[in-house]
Amino acid sequence: MTVAAVPMTVPRRDPWPLALLAALALGALPLVGSVSSWVTLSVAGLAMGMIVFIVASGLTLVFGLMDVLNFGHGVFIALGAFVATSVLAGLSDWTSPADLARNVAAIFVAMLAAMALAAAIGAAFERLLVRPAYGQHLKQILVTMGGMVIGEELIKVVWGPAPLPLPLPEALRGALVLGDAAVEKYRVFAVAVGLLVLAAMLYTLNRTKLGLLIRAGVQDREMVESLGYRVRTLFVGVFVAGSALAGLGGVLWGLYQQTVTAQIGAQVNVLIFIVVIVGGLGSTLGCLVGALLVGLLANYTGFLAPQLAVFSNIALMIGVLLWRPLGLYPVGRR
């Protein structure tokens, strides 16, 4: 039997979590009543979900690869948001006119600046705080928590303690009208950027050697080292990339909220923990599904029962954990 004649079969992915996502979205339609507000809420949910995914993806890979849980990951979100305030203020001649191309360019410059600074601080954060505590979870939690506090205070020293406004550039203000549904322009932009980052991430993880290394490292670190790769340096790279992504997410989150405070990191920190738990530690796909679930649920309950919105995340987390204690896509720990 020649080699070519050997038939090749194609694998199948676990569909259930995706079905849960569809069920949540469609289930909300009858409850919301009108299709137009459902569309608005869904887009808002997707936008929020995308931003949370961008931020949480770094955290889940860092944990998956080196068993390091960074309780201070949120500080890079605050950093990104504050960098955006400075950059966009500096580029006011690009953001004030209703010229979409210039506005988007200004935001991209802000994003690049935020990612660069977050990456640099991320490297220092890893070197000073994370490296001495490998393998000791309690110390990691305490030290990275301390790192969060130090980060927040340093931000206050540089940008001052008061909240800063982060106005949307002119062209991204207001809403698009689709039929009778009004969809905010910025949210569509956020979803677009989110999809871009997602595409880049999926391409890296599935199509490049680096991506294979990360996914394999999450599975069996010793075996990857036995094949000749230095996982420790790979990890530092992933940690820095994760911090940069959090910085990018910070810019988008700051624009989404339109005001920026140093505590922004701590608030979002809790949100991304829920997403990472729900999705399954170390799983990028799980992180995406988890983020979209949280985003959609938060917006739907915000509309239907604002009082309960606070608890919607907790309920989702408990529900998923009862169904799958290791999250939607548990990464097979050898």
Partner 1 sequence: MSAAPLLRLAGVHTHLGAFHILHGVDLEVPEGEVTVLLGRNGAGKTTTLRTIMGLTPASAGTISFDGQPLQARATPDIARLGLAYVPENMGIFGDLSVRENLLLAARGARRLEQIDAKRLDAIFVLFPALKTFWLHPAGTLSGGQKQMLAIARALVEPRRLLLVDEPSKGLAPAIVANLIGALRDLKATRTTLLLVEQNFAMARALGDGVAVIDDGRVVHRGRMAALADDAALQHRLLGLSLGGRA
Partner 2 sequence: MWRRLLSHDLPRSRALAALLLLIVLALALTPFVLPGARALNVAAKVLVFIVLVASYDLLLGYTGIVSFAHTMFFGIGAYGVAIASARLGPGWAAVGAGLGAALLASLALAALIGLASLRVRAIFFAMITLAVASAFQALASQWSAFTGGEDGLSFALPAALQPATLYLDEPLLGARVDGRLLSYAGLFGATLVLVLAMLRIVNSPFGSVLKAIRENDFRAEALGYRTVVYRTAANVIAALFATLAGAMLALWLRYNGPDTSLSFEIMLDVLLIVVIGGMGSLYGAVVGSVLFVLAQSYLQDLMRAAAGAAEGLPLLAALLSPDRWLLWLGVLFVLSVYHFPEGVVGRLRAPRRPRHDADRAPRPPGGSR
| Residue ranges in contact with partner 1 by CB under 8 A | 1, 3, 6-11, 208-209, 212-213, 215-216, 219-220, 222-231, 331-332, 334
State residue 182 phi and psi, 5-degree precision. Answer: -100, 125
With CB cut-offs between 5 and 8 Å by kind, which of partner 1, partner 2, none does residue 141 bind? Answer: partner 2
List the single partner that 310 binds among partner 1, partner 2, none, CB under 5 to 8 Å by kind: partner 2
Range 143-162, binding partner 2 (CB under 8 A): 143, 145-147, 149-150, 152-154, 156-157, 161
| Shortest distance (Å) from residue 225 CB to partner 1 | 4
Amino acid at 142: L
Q: How far is the CB of 64 from partner 2 (least distance, A)?
A: 12
Residue 71 CB, shortest distance to partner 1, in Å, is 27
Positive or negative torsion for Cα 209, 212, 217, 221: negative
Contact between 214 and 205 under an 8 Å Cβ cutoff? The reply is yes
- Strand 181-184, strand 164-165: pairing: unpaired
Nearer to partner 1, 144 or 283 (CB): 283
Query: Among partner 1, partner 2, none, what does residue 188 contact (CB within 5–8 Å per kind)?
Result: none
Q: Minimum distance between the CB of residue 211 and partner 1, rounded to whole angstroms?
A: 9
- Taking CB under 8 A as the criterion, which residues in 315-334 touch partner 2? 317-318, 321-322, 325
Q: Please name the amino acid found at residue 120.
A: A
> By CB under 8 A, is residue 164 in contact with partner 2?
no
332: left (phi over 0), alpha (psi -120 to 50) or beta: beta
Task: Choose the one of partner 2, partner 1, none that binds residue 43, judging by a C-beta under 5 to 8 angstroms depending on kind.
Answer: none
C-alpha count within 13 angstroms, C-beta hemisphere, residue 148: 21
What is the Cα–Cα distance from 137 to 258, expressed in whole angstroms? 36
* 230 part of the interface to partner 2, by CB under 8 A: no
Question: Rounded to whole angstroms, how far apart are CA atoms 253 and 291?
Answer: 14
C-alpha radius of gyration, the chain, whole number = 20
Residues 52-71 that bind partner 2 (CB under 8 A): 69
- By beta-carbon proximity to partner 1, the closer residue of 62 and 87 is 62
- Rounded Cα gap, residues 82 and 159, in angstroms: 7
Given the complex with partner 1, which of 2 and 307 has the nearer CB atom?
2
Distance of alpha carbon 68 from alpha carbon 63, whole angstroms: 5
Examine residue 129 and tell whether it contacts partner 2 (CB under 8 A).
Answer: yes
N- to C-terminal Cα separation, the chain: 35
User: What's the rounded Cα separation, in Å, for the pair 109 and 61?
Assistant: 26
CB of 216 to partner 1, least distance (A): 4
Query: Measured from the CB atom, is 35 or 142 closer to partner 2?
Result: 142
State which of positions 245-304 bind partner 2 (CB under 8 A): 266-267, 269-270, 273-274, 276-277
- Exposed (0-12), middle (13-18) or buried (19+): which is 67, by Cβ within 10 Å? middle
Nearest approach, Cβ of residue 10 and partner 1 (Å): 6
The residues with which 175 forms a beta bridge, in sequence order, are 184
Distance CA 129, CA 59 (A): 15
Q: Which residues bind partner 2 (CB under 8 A)?
A: 69, 129, 132-133, 135-139, 141-143, 145-147, 149-150, 152-154, 156-157, 161, 266-267, 269-270, 273-274, 276-277, 307, 310-311, 313-314, 317-318, 321-322, 325
